Amino acid sequence: MSVEKLFDVVGVGLNATDTLILLDRFPAYAGKVPFTREVLSPGGQVASAMVCCARLGLRVKYIGTCGDDERGRIQMASLRESGINIDDVQVRENCPNQTAYILIDQSTGERTVLWRREDCLALHPETITPEMITSARLLHIDGHDTLAVARAAQIARANGIPVTIDIDTIYHGFDKVLQHVDYLVTSSEFPVQWTGQADPLKALATIQNEFHLPVAAMTLGAHGSLARVDGKFYYSPAYVVNCIDTTGAGDIFHGAFCYAVLQGLSIQETLELSNALAALNCTALGARGKLATLDEAKALMGRAERRVNFDYARVSA
C-alpha cells in the first residue's frame, strides 16, 4: 500500500537575497556610469525554483540555510508568504545571508552577477535526515553543498524518489551526486567544462551515458532548451517576450521542469512549459519577478513568436 506524501517536491540548496542595480547600459571596461535604480529582491537557485512550484499549486518544502541579518529576514518572509514549508530551514546566528549584486543592462535585460556566500551558511550532510526527503514525491537540488545534496539524493534514490538537479558549476566530488540523479538540467557551459569536449551536445551525451541518466537537459538562454532521452535530442526554441531582466529565468525553468515531471508531461511538453514560464519571468524585475500561472504560460505558448536561431540540424542529426 502506497503512503501518502506530505509534499509534492522538496528542494535542498541555495537561496540568496539580491541587490538589483539598474543601468541604462553597461559601462566599458574600467568605465563609470550612473545607475538608475536599486532594488532588494529575494532569489537563489533552489529557493526560487520552489517558489515557482508553489505558484503552480504544488505542495512544497524547502531545506537550506539562511542568515539572521536583514537579507535573511527578507528571504524567509518571501518563502513564508509563498506558502512553502520552511520547518527545516536552518537560520544561522551572526551570519549574513548569501548576497548577490546584479547589474542589469536595461537596454537588453541581460545581467551580470557578483555574489558571496559565507562559510557559516554551509549545509552539513548530517543534518539531512531520511524523513526530510521521503516526505516528498520528487527531490530538487543544486550542487553547492555537495556532500549534503549527495546525501539527500542518495536517500531519494534508495526510496524510489526521482531527483532533478540544477547545475552550472563544477564542484569537487560532484560525481557522487550525479550517480543518484534522474533529471540532469545544466547550463550550456557545464557539459563542456565537465568533459573537456568542445561540442556541448556531445559533452551532454557523454555525461548522460557515463552516469546512466534517464534524462539529460541543457538550458540555452535566448536559444531555448534541449534534452536527450533514449539517445534522441529534443529541442524547444525560446519564446520572444519584452525582456526586462533575465535574473532567475533558469531557476524558474527548473521549477517548471519539476512541475512537468510530476504531471507526467512528455519531454517536449516539459521543455515548452519550462521555456514559457522562464520567459514570462523575464518580463519583470527580479529573480521572482513574474511568477506566472499555468494559464498565463499556456496563453504565451499559444501566441508568442519563437526565437529559432539555434542550429537544430545538429540536434536532429
Q: In this structure, is residue 118 part of a structural domain?
A: no
Q: How many CB atoms lie within 10 A of CB 304?
A: 16
Compute and round to an integer the Cα radius of gyration of the chain: 19
Q: In this structure, is residue 90 part of a structural domain?
A: yes
Residues 7-39: pLDDT tens digits? 999 999 999 999 999 999 988 889 999 999 999
Fill in the amino acid letter for 264. Answer: G
Q: How many CB atoms lie within 10 A of CB 45?
A: 26
CATH number at residue 277: 3.40.1190.20
Q: In this structure, is residue 208 part of a structural domain?
A: yes
- The overall average pLDDT reported for the chain is 94
Contact 136, 159 (CB under 8 A): no
Measured CA to CA, the distance from residue 227 to residue 178 in angstroms comes to 16
Q: In this structure, is residue 37 part of a structural domain?
A: no
Q: Are strands 111-116 and 99-105 parallel, antiparallel or unpaired?
A: antiparallel
**Total domain count, the chain:** 1
Q: In this structure, is residue 105 part of a structural domain?
A: no
Residues 119-178: pLDDT tens digits? 999 999 999 999 999 999 999 999 999 999 999 999 999 999 999 999 999 999 999 999
**Grid coordinates of 293:** 500561472
**pLDDT above 70 (res 207):** yes
- For residues 234-256, average pLDDT: 94
Q: How many CB atoms lie within 10 A of CB 46?
A: 26
Q: In this structure, is residue 91 part of a structural domain?
A: yes
**pLDDT above 50 (res 316):** no
**pLDDT above 60 (res 73):** yes
Q: In this structure, is residue 31 part of a structural domain?
A: no
Q: In this structure, is residue 127 part of a structural domain?
A: yes
**Grid coordinates of 84:** 512553502
Measured CA to CA, the distance from residue 14 to residue 18 in angstroms comes to 13
**Containing H/E element for 156?**
helix 146-158
Note down the domain range covering 53: 7-15+44-96+123-316
3-state secondary structure of 213: coil
- For residues 239-249, average pLDDT: 91
- Can you tell me which residue has the cell 524585475? 285
pLDDT value of residue 311: 63
